[in-house]
């Protein structure tokens, strides 16, 4: 497995990395590029998956980018580790099995640093369940298969500003909340309260690579996590942005100012 580590670039516009993802996905799907983890941090963005309902976005001023992943609406932003596994798998594609493997790998990795998490039947992601509190999602997961190759992935809250989630109904679950490693660490007096994004990536990536080995043909299995030079991929952003087909926005009324913001996001321009 190769790693394209974009964390040193700081928070990046969502659609810029989406363009890189789609470029790598096209290559991996034809086996002309190695299976790759894209590891990055987003600037403030709200994205809506295929299961998003209008009621999941009660604030009409929130600019939302609709994406072709599973799940509902969520927030991406600074302090959140985003991992896209781009993997050519043995057919047939089994999205449920892949998501369960992702959850189990992350749960095992988190247990090694003293953080107890779990999966919840019928609700994808990695959850924190504590007596006397609502269930809180630590990591959202939204995977898509195309040409027997995975794309999109997981958004893991390390020291994310959790208040940003409150402008939407995170993952469309009104009876649940969100949490972060920092919040868990502070409550339970654990070292993860001070984790950085690179530390979180170093914790999770080996566990994910091990879990995904079952989906990869033996001839392509490689236990090493090998870095890729990010400059090559960053240079393709403009080219890929022009090629990318912009998906339709979710059909929710917006104020003119929000519409203008969303148009800028969908052309890849940075917003203030």
Q: What is the number of structural domains in the chain? A: 1
The catalytic position among 38, 65, 154, 171 is 171
Question: Whole-angstrom Cα distance, residue 27 to residue 22?
Answer: 9
Question: Would you say how long the chain is, in residues?
Answer: 272
Q: Is residue 79 in some structural domain? A: yes
Alpha helix (H) ranges present in 30-94?
none
Q: Is residue 45 in some structural domain? A: yes
Q: Is residue 271 in some structural domain? A: no
Q: Is residue 160 in some structural domain? A: yes
pLDDT in tens, 111-168: 999 999 999 988 889 999 998 889 999 999 989 999 999 999 999 999 999 999 887 7
pLDDT in tens, 28-63: 999 999 999 999 999 999 988 877 888 888 777 888
For 101, the domain range is 2-266
Q: Is residue 66 in some structural domain? A: yes
CA-closest candidate to residue 150, choices 204, 199, 107, 208 = 208
Q: Is residue 140 in some structural domain? A: yes
Is residue 171 among the annotated active site residues?
A: yes
Q: Is residue 272 in some structural domain? A: no
38, 151 Cβ separation under 8 angstroms:
no
Residue 97 belongs to a domain with what CATH number? 3.30.930.10
Q: Which position has the token pair 């990869």? A: 216
What does the block give as tokens for 265? 């996001």
Q: Is residue 255 in some structural domain? A: yes
Q: Please report, for the chain, how many H helices and E strands are present, in that order.
A: 7, 12
């Amino acid at each position: 497995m190769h790693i394209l580590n974009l964390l040193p670039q700081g928070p990046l516009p969502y659609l810029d990395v989406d363009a890189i993802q789609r470029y790598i996905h096209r290559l991996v799907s034809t086996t002309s590029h190695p299976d790759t983890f894209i590891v990055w941090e987003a600037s403030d963005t709200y994205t809506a998956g295929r299961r998003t309902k209008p009621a999941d976005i009660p604030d009409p001023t929130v600019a939302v980018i609709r994406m072709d992943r599973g799940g509902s609406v969520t927030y991406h932003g600074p302090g959140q580790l985003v991992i896209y596994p781009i993997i050519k798998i043995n057919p047939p594609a089994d999205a449920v099995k892949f998501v369960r493997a992702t959850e189990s790998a992350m749960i095992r990795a988190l247990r090694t640093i003293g953080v107890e998490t779990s999966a919840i039947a019928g609700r994808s992601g990695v959850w924190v369940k504590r007596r006397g509190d609502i269930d809180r999602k630590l990591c959202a997961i939204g995977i898509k298969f195309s040409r027997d190759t995975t794309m999109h992935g997981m958004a893991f809250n390390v020291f994310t500003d959790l208040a940003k989630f409150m402008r939407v109904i995170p993952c469309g679950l009104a009876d649940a909340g969100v949490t972060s490693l920092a919040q868990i660490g502070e409550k339970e007096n654990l070292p993860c309260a001070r984790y950085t994004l690179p530390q979180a990536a170093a914790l999770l990536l080996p566990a994910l690579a091990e879990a995904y080995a079952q989906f990869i043909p033996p001839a392509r299995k490689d236990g090493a996590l090998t870095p890729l030079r990010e400059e090559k991929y960053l240079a393709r952003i403009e080219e890929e942005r022009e090629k990318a087909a912009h998906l339709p926005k979710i059909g929710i009324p917006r104020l003119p100012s929000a519409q203008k913001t969303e148009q800028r996001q969908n052309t890849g321009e940075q917003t203030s």
